Amino acid sequence: MKRKMLTKGIPVMLMLALVLSLSTAAWARGFGRGPMNLTPEQASQLFDLKQKFMNETADLRKAMWVKRAELAALWKAENPDSKQIVAKQKELNTVRGQLQEKMVAFRLQARKICPQMGKGMGRGMGMGHGMGMGRGMGMAGGGPGMGMGPGCGW
């Protein structure tokens, strides 16, 4: 009986190992968004631009983490106050909007360096890959992403 269970478990374990190895490999290389046809100058410029963006948005990203934690605490209350929750959600949305404005400027600047960047792509690096936000920003994080997609850089 024990031997029969072990024999049945082997294919399941092999399948699980395969799925995990493939997903890890895909995550590690950014789901195929590796550098493509970048000159050393473009690579350097994109790296510097990304560093500048990350430095300039550090306070906004931190504020989002704090606001999410505050919102979560409001929801955990025994009797959640809807007015406080709505107000906190509005605060979070304001910070998110500010970050998205900076993201647009960043992406437009990146496309000047690498014109093929962002063409024919969906969301880019989700918050789980690269610069993601919270449930999306890859730091990052998961959820809606803010990456470049295929082509240049990431």
- Per-residue pLDDT tens digits for 28-77: 333 335 546 889 999 999 999 999 999 999 999 999 999 999 999 999 99
Burial of 24 (0-12, 13-18, 19+ CB in 10 A): exposed
Q: At what angle do helices 40-56 and 58-76 cross, to 10 degrees?
A: 50
Instruction: Compute, in degrees rounded to 10, the torsion defined by CA atoms 103, 107, 113, 119.
Output: 170
CA separation for the pair 80, 60 (Å, rounded): 26
100-142 pLDDT tens trace? 999 999 999 999 999 887 665 444 444 444 444 444 444 444 4
pLDDT for the residue numbered 19: 52
pLDDT for the residue numbered 9: 58
Element (H, E) at 3: helix 2-28
pLDDT for the residue numbered 117: 77
Residue at 79: amino acid letter: N
pLDDT for the residue numbered 116: 80
CB atoms within 10 A of CB 60: 18
pLDDT for the residue numbered 120: 55
pLDDT for the residue numbered 115: 87
CA separation for the pair 124, 114 (Å, rounded): 15
3-state secondary structure string, 11-59?
A: HHHHHHHHHHHHHHHHHHCCCCCCCCCCCHHHHHHHHHHHHHHHHHCHH
